[in-house]
């Protein structure tokens, strides 16, 4: 299958490495890569890990017209406020009847319903497993393994940076020291305040609600409080009392619509959401037929994000 990448940063490179490792059993070919500053590369026989960059294509449309891929993978930088230009990139691919995979949560948090409708109209596939919990199966699990199940709500600890920062506060360090620790570990967003103020958690909550609960929402509509809303001394005080604070993303139906919240919550250490150590993430789905289902990803990294793209690609290859 011919694959084009829009974006070739940490995720794109990890994905290209993964395809090389699995080449003998999964013969996918990256035939083109487009970036913002590095330029554009094409080779219909397949590009290596260090593509020979040429001049940048004039536009994503021109890139796709030249590359003629079957699948486009959108992995450009996240714009949390609007989801652009990734939304436009995805629409350009659909307009050319190209299947799309993305790890960029912007489009799913801001425009899932219209993008999904567009994909259906064009009879192309649209996958986004890596947008929440770094490739751990959430969306495909519900789609493939839970037929007829209604998702009634969820609670999750979905942002690794806030976990690291709260851990630092618990040990008596400052917010800034916690942020530096998360940056050293490589888990913080380019702008760490986006994690600290709950925007990343809000974008993930909106994405989950849009896909799993048919909400038509966006991150701005999430009731949001972040770590700047707590007393920095409180995590250390609570630790002495056997309690912890976690930045929890949650959803529930109220009066027929989906209410989304991101908030630092005080939890007893025995609460499942409090018990997940390190940078690990946990999501609990509340369902009508299957009770509560929990998914845990232990210290996920970029290799798992790349795997989410890979699993989406295999799924598309099997379904067309
Ligand atoms: N890193 C993770 O573990 C992780 C986990 C889950 C989801 N994600 C999501 O995956 C996406 C990629 O993450 P990353 O860590 O790979 O980011 P990154 O290292 O910053 O790379 C972003 C890539 O996008 C390119 N780009 C930016 N704007 C573009 C535009 N308008 N047109 C074409 N290319 C453009 C950049 O080009 P240049 O190289 O020329 O600058 C770069 O190659 C993001 O949306 C992120 O939120 C990442």
Q: Which of 35, 182, 201, 306 to mutate to test the pocket of ligand 1 (most atoms within 8 A of CB)?
A: 35
User: Is there a domain that residue 142 lies in?
Assistant: no
Same domain, 237 and 169: yes
Structural domain boundaries enclosing 100: 2-135+302-319
- Is position 288 within any domain? yes
Could you read off the pLDDT of 203-223 as tens digits, one per residue? 999 999 999 999 999 999 999
Asked if residue 187 and residue 60 are part of one domain, the reply reads no
Ligand 1 center to 89 CA (angstroms): 13
- Please indicate, yes or no, whether residues 89 and 192 belong to a single structural domain of this protein: no
> Reduced to 3 states, what is the DSSP secondary structure of residue 287?
strand
* Same domain flag for 99 and 183: no
Q: Is the CB of 161 under 6 A from ligand 1?
A: no
At residue 14 the predicted structure's pLDDT band, cuts being 50, 70 and 90, is very high
> In the structure, what pLDDT confidence band is assigned to residue 188 with cuts at 50, 70 and 90?
confident
Same domain, 110 and 215: no
Q: Is residue 248 part of a domain?
A: yes
Please report whether residue 313 resides in a domain.
Answer: yes
CATH number at residue 277: 3.30.360.10
**Residue 46 confidence class, pLDDT cut points 50, 70, 90:** very high
Are 96 and 124 a contacting pair, CB within 8 Å?
no
In a domain, 75, yes or no: yes
CA 37 to chain centre: 23
Residues 6+ apart with CB under 8 A from 66: 32, 42, 57
Question: Is 144 a member of any domain?
Answer: no
Closest atom of ligand 1 relative to the 104 alpha carbon:
45
- Average pLDDT score over residue span 247-266: 96
In whole angstroms, what is the distance from residue 273 CA to residue 253 CA?
Answer: 21
Q: So what's the pLDDT on residue 256?
A: 87
Residue 120 belongs to a domain with what CATH number? 3.40.50.720
pTM for the full model? 0.96
Task: Please indicate, yes or no, whether residues 293 and 307 belong to a single structural domain of this protein.
Answer: no
**Is 156 found in the same domain as 68?**
no
When the pLDDT of each residue in the chain is averaged and rounded to a whole number, the result is 96
C-alpha 85 – ligand 1 centre gap (Å):
12
Residue nearest to atom 13 of ligand 1 (CA): 11
Query: Does 315 reside within a domain?
Result: yes
Which ligand 1 atom is the nearest neighbour of the CA of 190? 20
258 and 310, same domain (yes or no): no
37: exposed, middle or buried (Cβ count in 10 Å: 0-12, 13-18, 19+): exposed
What is the number of alpha carbons within 13 Å of residue 253 lying toward its C-beta? 13
Domain count of the chain? 2
Residue 51 sits in the same domain as residue 11: yes
Asked if residue 75 lies in contact with residue 7, where contact means CB atoms within 8 angstroms, the answer is yes
User: Would 287 be classed as within a structural domain?
Assistant: yes
Q: Whose CA is nearest to atom 23 of ligand 1?
A: 7
The pLDDT assigned to 187 comes to 83
Alpha helices in the chain (DSSP H): 10-21, 60-67, 86-95, 105-122, 139-145, 160-170, 175-185, 193-196, 199-212, 234-240, 302-319
Whether 109 and 155 map to the same domain: the answer is no
Does residue 186 register a pLDDT over 90? no
Does 173 lie in the same domain as 262? yes
Over residues 90-133, the pLDDT tens digits come to 999 999 999 999 999 999 999 999 999 999 999 999 999 999 99
- The span from the CA of 127 to the CA of 5, in Å, is 14
The rounded Å distance from CA 27 to ligand 1 centre is 24
Reduce the DSSP state of residue 18 to 3 states and report it. helix
* Pair (308, 180) in one structural domain: no
Residues 84, 295: Cα–Cα separation, whole Å: 29
């Amino acid at each position: 299958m011919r694959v084009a990448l829009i974006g070739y940063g940490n995720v794109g490179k990890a994905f290209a490495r993964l395809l090389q490792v699995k080449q003998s059993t999964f013969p996918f070919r990256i035939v083109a890569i487009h970036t913002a500053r590095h330029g554009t590369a094409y080779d219909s026989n397949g590009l290596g890990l260090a593509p020979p960059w040429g001049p940048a294509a004039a536009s994503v449309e021109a890139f796709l017209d030249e590359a003629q891929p079957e699948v486009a993978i959108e992995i450009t930088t996240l714009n949390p406020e609007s989801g652009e230009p990734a939304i436009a990139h995805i629409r350009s691919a659909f307009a050319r009847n190209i299947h799309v995979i993305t790890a960029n949560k912007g489009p799913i948090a801001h425009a899932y319903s219209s993008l999904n409708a567009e994909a259906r109209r064009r009879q192309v596939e649209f996958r986004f497993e890596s947008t929440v919990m770094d490739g751990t199966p959430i969306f495909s699990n519900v789609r493939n393994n839970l037929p007829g199940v209604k998702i009634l709500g969820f609670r999750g600890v979905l942002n690794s940076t806030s976990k690291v920062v709260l851990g630092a506060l618990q040990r008596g360090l400052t917010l800034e020291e916690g942020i530096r620790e998360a940056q050293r570990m490589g888990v913080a967003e380019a702008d760490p305040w986006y994690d600290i103020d709950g925007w990343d958690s809000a974008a993930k909550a909106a994405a989950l609600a849009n896909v799993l609960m048919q909400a038509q929402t966006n991150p701005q509509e999430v009731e949001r409080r972040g770590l700047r809303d707590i007393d920095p001394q409180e995590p250390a005080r609570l630790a002495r009392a056997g309690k912890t604070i976690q930045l929890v993303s949650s959803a529930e139906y109220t009066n027929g619509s989906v209410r989304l919240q991101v908030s630092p919550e005080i939890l007893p250490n025995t609460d499942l959401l409090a018990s997940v150590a390190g940078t690990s993430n946990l999501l609990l789905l509340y369902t009508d037929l299957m009770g509560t289902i929990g998914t845990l990803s232990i210290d996920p990294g970029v290799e798992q994000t790349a795997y989410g793209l890979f699993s989406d690609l295999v799924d598309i290859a099997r379904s067309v």
